[in-house]
C-alpha cells in the first residue's frame, strides 16, 4: 500500500504540471486583460502596470516566472483586490468553503446512506417509493433554483434565518442545506441500488445462514459492500464542495473561494483564477487517492501491488 501511495503522489506531479500549463495559456488566450476597464487608462500608467506585473515580457517568460513562484508557494498578487495576494484571499476564503462543504458532506452521507438503506430493506414498499421519489426530485432540481427558494422562504418571508452574508452559525444553515439536499438524494439512490445488490450476494446469504443477527448482517456485511459506490462518488464531489460552490457562495454572498473564482473570471484576474484551479486540482488528486485507500480497506479483494 505504501509503495502505491508513493507512486500516486509521484504521478500527481506531472498531472499538476499539465493542469497548470493548460490553464495558464488558456486564460491568457481569452480576450481582455486585468487592466481593461470601461475608462481606458493613461498609456504611461498602463505601461508601468504591465512592467510591474511582468506583462511586458513574452508569454513564455511569464509562464516560467509563474512556475517558479508557484514552486515557492507564491500564487501571485490579486489584480481585482489590489491590497491582497491570492494566498491572503485563500487563507480567509478556503476555511469558509471547507466549513460549508464539510458540513454538507457529513449531512448528505448520514441522511443519504440511512434513507437508501431503509428503502433497500423495504424494497417495493411505500417507504421505498417515497424515498426514490424524493431523491429523484432532489437530483433534478439544481442548486441555483434551490438557493433562491430557501433564501426567499426562510430568509425574507419567514425571517427565521439570514438570507445572505457570513458571520454566525445561522448564516451556514441555508447554504449547507442547499448543498446537502441534492447530494443527499444522490447518495440515497446510490446506497439503495448497492444495498439491494449486496443483499443478494453470496457472502450476505452465508452470513444469514450462520444465524447472525439481522443488525450485524445489514451493518457489517451489507452496508460495507454497499458503501463502495458512495465512496467513489464522494471523492471528486467532496473536492468540489470543499473548494467552494460557485453558485451557492455567489447567491448567499459568502466570502469563499468559489465566489472569488467568479470575481476573478469576470475581472480577468489571472492569478486568482489560476490559484483556484491549482487548489481544486490538488484537492481532486488528494481525494481520489483517499478513495483508493478506502476501497482497499473496505473491500479485502482490492489490492494495490
Residue 41 gets which letter from DSSP? P
253 and 147 in a common domain: yes
β-pair partners for 77: 85
43 and 110 in a common domain: no
130 domain residue, yes or no: yes
168 and 215 in a common domain: yes
Going by pLDDT thresholds of 50, 70 and 90, the confidence category of residue 3 is: confident
Going by pLDDT thresholds of 50, 70 and 90, the confidence category of residue 133 is: confident
pLDDT digits (tens, 9 = 90+) for 80-113: 777 788 888 888 888 888 888 889 889 988 998 8
Opening angle at CA 265, ends 263 and 271, nearest 5: 95
12 domain residue, yes or no: yes
22 and 90 in a common domain: no
304 domain residue, yes or no: no
How many structural domains comprise the chain? 2
Q: Please check the confidence at residue 208 and state whether its pLDDT lies above 80.
A: no
pLDDT digits (tens, 9 = 90+) for 27-49: 887 776 666 655 566 677 666 76
CB 236 within 8 A of CB 288: yes
Q: Please check the confidence at residue 258 and state whether its pLDDT lies above 60.
A: yes
59 domain residue, yes or no: yes
CB 17 within 8 A of CB 252: no
The three grid cell numbers given for residue 122, joined into one nine-digit string: 423495504
**In Å, what is the CA distance from 36 to each residue of 41, 267, 301?**
8, 9, 57
163 and 122 in a common domain: yes
Going by pLDDT thresholds of 50, 70 and 90, the confidence category of residue 242 is: confident
Rg over CA atoms, the chain: 24
pLDDT at 303: 60
Poorest-confidence range of 1-10, 68-77, 180-189, 289-298?
Answer: 1-10
96 and 126 in a common domain: yes
244 and 152 in a common domain: yes
- Its pTM stands at 0.80
Q: Which of 71, 102, 129 is the last residue of a domain?
A: 71
150 and 55 in a common domain: no
pLDDT at 264: 79
pLDDT at 2: 64
For the chain, give the percent of residues with pLDDT over 90.
Answer: 1
pLDDT at 244: 65
pLDDT at 300: 61
3-state secondary structure of 77: strand
Alpha helices in 53-85 (DSSP H): 59-71
Q: Which domain holds residue 171?
A: 86-298
Going by pLDDT thresholds of 50, 70 and 90, the confidence category of residue 12 is: confident
The residue assigned the cell 511582468 is 54
The three grid cell numbers given for residue 32, joined into one nine-digit string: 481582455
pLDDT at 169: 83
For the chain, give the percent of residues with pLDDT over 70.
Answer: 89
78 domain residue, yes or no: no
pLDDT at 28: 80
Residue of 277, 262, 266 whose CA lies nearest to 34: 266
64 domain residue, yes or no: yes
**In Å, what is the CA distance from 77 to each residue of 65, 169, 230, 270, 283?**
13, 31, 39, 9, 22
173 domain residue, yes or no: yes
129 and 230 in a common domain: yes
- The H or E element containing residue 44 is helix 43-52
Q: Which of 30, 48, 71 is the last residue of a domain?
A: 71
The Cα–Cα gap between 21 and 67 comes to 9
Q: Which of 39, 71, 103 is the last residue of a domain?
A: 71
pLDDT at 156: 84
Residue 42 gets which letter from DSSP? P
3-state secondary structure of 169: coil
79 domain residue, yes or no: no
pLDDT at 36: 64
Please provide the average confidence, as pLDDT, over all residues in the chain: 81
288 and 180 in a common domain: yes
163 and 56 in a common domain: no
pLDDT at 42: 64
3-state secondary structure of 111: helix
pLDDT digits (tens, 9 = 90+) for 156-191: 888 888 888 787 888 888 999 988 888 898 899 888
172 and 266 in a common domain: yes
Instruction: Assign residue 255 the CATH number of its domain.
Output: 1.10.3720.10
Residue of 232, 231, 226, 228 whose CA lies nearest to 200: 226
Amino acid at each position: 500500500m505504501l509503495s502505491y501511495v508513493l507512486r500516486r503522489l509521484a504521478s500527481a506531479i506531472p498531472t499538476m504540471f499539465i493542469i497548470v500549463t493548460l490553464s495558464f495559456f488558456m486564460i491568457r488566450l481569452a480576450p481582455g486583460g486585468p487592466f481593461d476597464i470601461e475608462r481606458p487608462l493613461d498609456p504611461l500608467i498602463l505601461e508601468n502596470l504591465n512592467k510591474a506585473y511582468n506583462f511586458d515580457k513574452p508569454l513564455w517568460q511569464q509562464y516560467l516566472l509563474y512556475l517558479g513562484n508557484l514552486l515557492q508557494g507564491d500564487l501571485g498578487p490579486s489584480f481585482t483586490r489590489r491590497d491582497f495576494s491570492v494566498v491572503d484571499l485563500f487563507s480567509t476564503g478556503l476555511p469558509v468553503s471547507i466549513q460549508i462543504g464539510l458540513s454538507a458532506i457529513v449531512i448528505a452521507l448520514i441522511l443519504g446512506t440511512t434513507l437508501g438503506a431503509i428503502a433497500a430493506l423495504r424494497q417495493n414498499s411505500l417507504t421505498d417509493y417515497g424515498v426514490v421519489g424524493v431523491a429523484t426530485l432532489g437530483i433534478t432540481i439544481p442548486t441555483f433554483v434551490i438557493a433562491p427558494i430557501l433564501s426567499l422562504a426562510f430568509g425574507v418571508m419567514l425571517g427565521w434565518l439570514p438570507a445572505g452574508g457570513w458571520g454566525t452559525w445561522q448564516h451556514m444553515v441555508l447554504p449547507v442545506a442547499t448543498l446537502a439536499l441534492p447530494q443527499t438524494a444522490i447518495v440515497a439512490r446510490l446506497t439503495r441500488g448497492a444495498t439491494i445488490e449486496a443483499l443478494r450476494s453470496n457472502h450476505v446469504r452465508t452470513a444469514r445462514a450462520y444465524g447472525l443477527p439481522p443488525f450485524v448482517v445489514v451493518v457489517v456485511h451489507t452496508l460495507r459492500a454497499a458503501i463502495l459506490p458512495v465512496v467513489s462518488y464522494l471523492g471528486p464531489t467532496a473536492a468540489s464542495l470543499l473548494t467552494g460552490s460557485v453558485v451557492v457562495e455567489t447567491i448567499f454572498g459568502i466570502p469563499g473561494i468559489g465566489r472569488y473564482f467568479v470575481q476573478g473570471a469576470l475581472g480577468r484576474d489571472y492569478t486568482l483564477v489560476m490559484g483556484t484551479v491549482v487548489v481544486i486540482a490538488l484537492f481532486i488528486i488528494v481525494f481520489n487517492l483517499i478513495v483508493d485507500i478506502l476501497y482497499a480497506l473496505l473491500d479485502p479483494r482490492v489490492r494495490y501491488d
